[in-house]
Chains A and B, each alone.
Chain A
Amino acid sequence: MKPLEDELRNALKRREPPPGFSGRVMARVEQLAEDRVRIAAKPAPRRAPWLPSSWFGRRVSVSFGAVAALAAVVLLAIGVAVWQQHRIVQERREGEAARAQLIEALRLTSSKLNHVRTKVRSVTDDGALDHAPNRHRSSSEFPFDGPQSVALPAA
């Protein structure tokens, strides 16, 4: 047992710290204290009060700034979608109006051309042109195949 006691005594023997050790420890303690004061003085980011402080057991920290940015993005996306929809509806409305105008123009033109065609045909079919000295019939039977000049009888 003697040697063991000797070893223990030797190991637990008081030793003097190296020079400047206590100074370095005190400096470190002061530094830590200063850091703690500085962190305490810095305002913590404001949390949005309606947001849960934990999410599935995990602590979450969301600032007002992040929420505002997210809201702005969502609003912008909604705005773009609404504007796109409005533009599509507007374009469709204008297109339908242009199409209606086109059909109206074709309808009117077609009816006028048929009106003229029927008049010319009615005159040429009943032989009125053959007897009128100032009228002539085109060599073609179809009214739009060549120049036609027809003067219908006065009342």
Chain B
Amino acid sequence: MRLKFESIAKILAGASVIALSAALPARGQNPKLDLGNLSKLADKADEVVDVTLDGPTLKFAEKFMQDDDDEKDDAEALRIIKNLTGIYVKSFEFDKADAYSDADVDAVRAQLKGPGWSKLVDVQSRRDHELDEVYIMTDPSGKNLGLAVIAAEREELTVVNIVGPIDVDHLADLQGKLGIPDDLDLKDGKHGGHHAH
């Protein structure tokens, strides 16, 4: 009888482990970055965009995009964000150069050396003191779990972290939709959008 009870307990424990491992991303793979260290830059910045959309807030925004029937382009955005669980953006524009340090960027970059993350694009310009890095997190099966973008210029620092399966090509193609101007000055990466504080 005791032997039978132990066998059942072992089977249940094994099933729990399998269920947990199926429910969670691969061990140690968390596409959400800790961007808390960048918050201190807000005091120095001339303009700040700080977006934190996760869980219910993201679903809430999604619901309002669905309700907005006069926006055809929202359908494209909805398709992109459908399975996302978090969108985090921190962008700072400074009125003087070198207002942020390499350590600020390194603190984010260090997290992108964790398991699952791989660098997709790395553009560095010493002439313009620019740095653009695109990272993507995938699980062992190759499924996309998240995205991170670091874009650093002399007077600007932007970090984007998207949690959930994201189609990078479609996201880039959003330009010209959702009020995103398609005549961006891509050389400088400047745009005429508004900034949230």
Which residues of A pack against B, CB within 8 Å?
94-96, 98-120, 123, 142-144, 146-155
Contacts and interface: CB of A to CB of B under 8 A. Distances in A.
Given A96-B64, A102-B53, A152-B127, A109 B149 contact: yes
Given A95-B61, A96-B64, A114-B172, A144 B53 contact: no
B108 interface: no
Interface of B: 49, 51, 53, 57-58, 60-65, 67-68, 77, 80-81, 87, 89, 91, 118-128, 130, 132, 134, 149, 151, 158, 160, 162, 168-169, 171-175, 178-180, 184, 186-187, 189, 191, 193-196
22 contacts: A98-B64, A99-B61, A99-B65, A102-B58, A104-B49, A104-B194, A105-B51, A105-B89, A106-B87, A107-B174, A107-B180, A109-B160, A112-B132, A114-B175, A114-B186, A115-B189, A118-B186, A144-B168, A147-B118, A149-B121, A151-B125, A152-B126
Contacts of B121: 116, 120, 143-144, 147-150
Given A94-B60, A99-B64, A107-B180, 17 more contacts: A98-B57, A99-B68, A100-B196, A101-B196, A102-B77, A106-B77, A106-B87, A107-B178, A108-B51, A108-B160, A112-B160, A112-B189, A113-B149, A114-B172, A119-B123, A147-B118, A152-B130
